[in-house]
Amino acid sequence: MNPLLVLRPWEAPEVTSWGRLPMNAVDRRSGALPLDGDWRFQLLPVPDAPVGGAWSSSYVPGVWTLQGTDDLPQYTNVRMPFPDFPPHSPAANPTGVYEREVDVPAEWAGRRIVLQVGAAESVLLVQVDGRPVGISKDSHLAAEFDLTGVVRPGGRATVRLTVVKWSDASHLEDQDQWWHGGITRSVLLYATDPLHLADVTVRARYSGELRVDCRVRSAGGALPDGWYLTGDLDGQPLAQDTEFDRANVEDERVSDFLGEARMRTTVEDVRTWNAETPELYDLTVRLHRADGTVADASRHRIGFRDVEIVGRDLLVNGERVFIRGVNRHDFHPLTGRTVSYDDMRADLTLLKRFGFNAIRTAHYPGDPALYDLADELGFYVVDEADIESHDHAHEIADDPRYLTAFVDRVSRMVLRDKNHPSVIIWSLGNESDYGANHDAAAGWVRRHDPTRPIQYEGAAKLDWAATDDASDIACPMYAPIEDCVAHALSGRQTRPLIQCEYSHAMGNSNGTLADHWAAIEATPGLQGGFIWEFWDHGILQRVSDGRPAGRAGAGLYDNGVAAPGYRWAYGGDFGETIHDGAFIADGMVFPDRTPKPAMYEHREIAAPVRIECYKHEGIVLGNHQHFRGLEWLAGEWRLDLADGTTLTGPARLPNLCPGETAAVPLPFAVPQDGGEAWLTLRVTVAEDQPWAPRGTEVCAPQIRLRGPAPVEVSPVDRQVEVDGEGLLVHPLLTVPPALSLWRAPTDNDELGGMAQRWRSWGLDALVRKVVSVREDAGRVTVEAEYAGTTGVVRHRQVLTPVEGGVRVDEEAELPEAFDDVARVGTVFETVTGLDLLEWFGQGPWESYPDRSAGAPVGHHAVPVDELFTPYLRPQESGGRHGVRRFTLSAPDATGLSVTLDEPRQVSVTRYRAEDLTSADHHDELVARPGCVVHIDAAHRGLGTASCGPDTSPSYLVAPGIHRWSWTLRVL
């Protein structure tokens, strides 16, 4: 009996499909009939509701949650968006019905006709002309159905695709994501000969050995006699070098009419594939009838490479490689889970430019085009199955009702993606505990594809040193780097340690990233990891009515900022009662793909060429790549002196093999005076690359050649003016300098618990009390106390008149109770019109004490309105680390300058900390007309405590006495 007619598949975990064809790696995109575009559409309240009434329109591929329906997106991280336990789904279950007519080409007469639905969330039911065809689950892999006996070539057929949003399968897709519903990848119709390629498996070794295994089926019955295979590689026939090995043709008349054949060859002087030099060959496999005519063909771009684990090292082509990875969801701020080829290419080219070489497809397989691009551009891919049962992980991992689903999802991913050289590791899924269902899936993979290792965090977390679980790699989440180093040095390590998630990029974050990588590069057994994650998943939303902007929102955002009247929506912004707020905004780029400052940090950490040291009047350069020389790079030297002098000149990079170093002479004679001297090597792409045009900067390593000269400021015979509270009076300041211990909490501060401690201490509302004001020969000393709810900070400010301004010497004594504050420093506000910040220090982008490796020291200038970083939830941002001096000026060059006693943390924005603290979105902020300026003696590191380790102890602001001084002058 037809299962589609007698069961409710959204309630049956043992049913993963019916009528669906087996997954395979044969490429069918060429010559297919695309069915993308507008389909008739109805959204029903439940799957069993009758279809009737007026049809609307919905674009395929796309999610209905962003196309004007009343079923809006919902974000959850761990919790399911409904209370039902597996395998049950809610009674209110939005169901989309898509329908359109298809004209079947007349020339397809006598051929096998197949419908492919790229992805549907979460249960797909297919009907043609009212006849049930099949069912499929798994929201992120294609489903194919044989329509040969259902449609008539030369005729018209009505195709109906019914998509049920919630099902037993939803409990396997609990993946820290926006929940959507719809058909999210392309739909197409294609035809093959009845005698066709059922699958192609390519194994291309680093040695040049090539093996192509093919499976052949006949839709018309038993396989005909005399069929055979040929192939060519880069246009050269394989038949010239290989014999069709009849000994390897197994029984051609098995019950499923399956034939198997194998071709072998060895490529001399093979060009091997790796992420740095992703050399590809074009392989074409042809299936011939007995008369020599071609019945079917499949085209592949293949790479010759080996992946293996030797001891505790993951090797690619025999080399131990660092995995500089990022986790990537399918995401677009207008179309949700639907991502175009151009979008995917833009994702990967951006990642490549910022030093990433690996992607984890969190937490499901990507579009097939993603792997083509990874092959071409050069990325190591951890291909992850569509399995995450976070909310009910323990129950599902050993539930036999879900056994078929686990094996089905993992095996279909492997069958589809096995020929991509970029895929070096299979992942069994994410955050689903560990049970028999994982072991079953791992067993299938190890039998089918022994050429790649398997990873699964849920298995490996039980014991990083185990050797008898379903993971070949220890791949923890957010493990403190100290624990990783200790494990690698313990003598117990048995397998590579590569974190599947680390350095959570929520808001102003990614602190200690450089420290993390310094430990990785210095510790055998550690090989890197994957930052969580690539995108902030903000959906563009109209403020007026709270609706998604949809496709009409194109062009309504720029540089990470939504246009007036719009904002980036996160959890709760669509009226959801169950949601996880801004936790969806945890990426290295903003929703419009604008890089966050942390991207520049990663770029420098991953630099292919570095300045190792300065000695004997020369510079030592090192090649930190695994496979490539420096010939593809160009360089330019820049020398920055503290007195404002900047010298530039061309750099000739030495011919270095991977891992080699060489000394080069200093490019400039360093002047005898001028204070600090910093030498920077700006490294760019010498010739166009597939991911970057010539001239694209890839890193800017820097070294200090000379330290600072002492700065002396002599007092002058003049009076410093203060008000009755002992506060400095200055014509360019609207709010006088005061002590500041508070910052607008970052996401890490809030979720890590620090912000609550600071509030409990009263740091957000300190009360100032003047103790004494003393004047001595024009110098004014102000003693004050700043009282919180649990402690008092004693503050001394000495104001000394100097030529052109005033020197401010400050001292703050924090009580022992304030053992970890956000900052200790000064805050003041300026008059309007000072709109340009120029400084000597680290920049030009935002940097903080534990995230400053990507901001070289130099002379920088940025308009004040561009200094602020618009993290989706307003918070502390815009700081610049290591500032020595700065000026704030108007267009007529008037303004103020500040010289600091030593490099300090400085921020200049239009917002007070309380402005940022009280706002949930940027459309709620009102910029102040002047500048809010912070000068910090000490500023707390950022860490990643929203999900992962906090900053290191060395970046905490401790109690005790803090001293700092600065000199304010009028330009």
The identity of residue 457, as a single letter, is E
Could you tell me the end-to-end alpha-carbon distance of the chain, in angstroms, rounded to an integer?
A: 88
Q: What is the helix (H) or strand (E) element at residue 164, kind and residue range?
A: strand 156-164
User: In angstroms, rounded to a whole number, what is the distance separating the alpha carbons of residues 374 and 359?
Assistant: 9
Q: Are 536 and 586 in contact (CB under 8 A)?
A: yes
| CA 313 – CA 497 distance, rounded (Å) | 8
The burial class, CB within 10 Å (0-12 / 13-18 / 19+), for 797 is buried
Report strand pairing: 497-502 vs 526-531. Answer: parallel
What the block records as the tokens of 13 is: 């975990």
User: Whole-angstrom Cα distance, residue 457 to residue 432?
Assistant: 9
**Which contiguous run of DSSP H or E holds residue 439?**
helix 436-448
Structure tokens at 682: 């700006």
CA distance 632 to 378: 15
- Largest CA-CA distance found in the chain, in angstroms, rounded: 110
Residue with tokens 């010239």: 240
Distance CA 967, CA 949 (A): 37
> Among residues 389, 436, 391, 386, which one has the least CA distance to residue 411?
386
Contact of 675 with 709, CB cutoff 8 Å? yes
The tokens 């004693």 sit on which residue? 794
Strands (E), 290-441: 294-302, 307-310, 313-316, 319-320, 323-327, 358-360, 380-384, 388-389, 423-427
Q: What is the DSSP string of 177-210?
A: EEE--EEEEEEEEEEE-SEEEEEEEEEE-TTSEE
For residues 300 and 27, the answer to whether their CB atoms sit within 8 Å is: yes
In Å, how far from its chain's centre is CA 745?
23
Q: With contact defined as beta carbons under 8 Å apart, do 706 and 862 qualify?
A: no
For tokens 């969580």, name the residue.
532
How many other C-beta atoms lie within 10 A of the C-beta of residue 606?
Answer: 18
Whether the CB-CB separation of 763 and 741 falls below 8 Å is answered with yes
How many CA atoms lie within 13 Å of 743's alpha carbon, on the beta-carbon side?
Answer: 35
Tell me how crowded residue 223 is: count the other CB atoms within 10 A of its CB.
18
d(CA 281, CA 272): 10
Give CA–CA dist 182/338, Å, rounded: 10
Measure the CA–CA gap between 366 and 531, rounded to whole angstroms.
Answer: 18
DSSP assignment of 451-506 equals TS-EE-HHHHTT-TT-SSSS-SBB--BS--HHHHHHHHHSS---S-EEEEEES---
Closest CA to 954 of 481, 524, 620, 591: 481
Residues designated catalytic: 431, 501
List the one residue out of 881, 896, 760 whose CA is nearest residue 837.
896
211, amino acid identity: R
User: What is the C-alpha to C-alpha distance for residues 124 and 132, in angstroms, rounded to an integer?
Assistant: 12
Q: Is 868 helix (H, G, I), strand (E, B) or coil?
A: coil
Residue 633 CA from chain centroid, whole number: 26
CA distance 860 to 895: 17
* 136 within 8 A of 162, measured Cβ to Cβ: no
